[in-house]
Amino acid sequence: MTEIFSFKCSRCGNTHEGSPSFAFAAPTYVSQLHESQQKNIIEAGTDLFRVKDGEHVHNFVRVCLEVPIYGYSQPFIWGVWVSLSEKSLERYVSSWNDVDESDMYFGWFSSKLPYYDNTLSLPAKVRPRKNGIRPYLQLEQDGHELANDWCTGMSFEKAQRIAEICMHHD
Ligand SMILES: [Zn+2]
């Protein structure tokens, strides 16, 4: 399980090396805001977004979804966003520098991943990690392909296919 993930790309012909890792700079909800709604963004950071929506505030935190690849020690990593309730966010932020790894925050998946059928609003649990490592995400087993992959892993061929889509944006 020490092999380095690498493949000859069917799109560009180059060899891409290293376990795939793709991140989204903002939650899909935020990227889809109309220009006139951008003033509702009250906080925009690398790990946190807060957006006003009438009386309500949408909170999003950045996490890692780590999907195992068969035969490789390093997973396919998605840098994605998850919504959190106001109450969860309070605890999340206040314990940021003194993480309790037994904490678990319920949220809804808030990034639309390529390749998969709509991944928005999949039920998820955010698990914080110590030493400034981004929290990891657990997906509920509701039959969605992404949840299955996260739980049981995916083949090298599938990881390559998804990586090619991400790298060459189609
Ligand atoms: Zn390529």
Contact between 62 and 134 under an 8 Å Cβ cutoff? The reply is yes
1, pLDDT greater than 90: no
Distance from residue 116's CA to the centre of ligand 1 (Å): 20
Distance from residue 20's CA to the centre of ligand 1 (Å): 12
Residue 55 CB neighbours (<10 A) = 5
Share of the chain above pLDDT 70, in %: 98
Distance from residue 84's CA to the centre of ligand 1 (Å): 35
pLDDT 10s digits, 121-168 = 999 999 999 998 999 999 999 899 999 999 999 999 999 999 999 999
Distance from residue 19's CA to the centre of ligand 1 (Å): 14
Contact between 84 and 126 under an 8 Å Cβ cutoff? The reply is yes
170, pLDDT greater than 80: no
106, pLDDT greater than 90: yes
Distance from residue 103's CA to the centre of ligand 1 (Å): 39
Mean pLDDT, the chain, rounded, equals 96
Contact between 164 and 147 under an 8 Å Cβ cutoff? The reply is no
pLDDT 10s digits, 62-88 = 999 999 999 999 999 999 999 999 999
Distance from residue 109's CA to the centre of ligand 1 (Å): 28
Give the single-character DSSP code of 170. Answer: -
Contact between 142 and 122 under an 8 Å Cβ cutoff? The reply is yes
Tell me the mean pLDDT in the region 109-115: 98
3, pLDDT greater than 90: no
Distance from residue 10's CA to the centre of ligand 1 (Å): 7
47, pLDDT greater than 70: yes
- Which pair of tokens denotes residue 151? 């739980």
pLDDT of res. 142: 87
For residue 103, the SS3 value is coil
Tell me the mean pLDDT in the region 111-129: 97
Closest CA to 19 of 67, 91, 90: 67
Write the DSSP string, 87-98: HHHHHHHHTTTS
Distance from residue 2's CA to the centre of ligand 1 (Å): 23
pTM over 0.85: yes
169, pLDDT greater than 90: no
- Which pair of tokens denotes residue 170? 């189609």
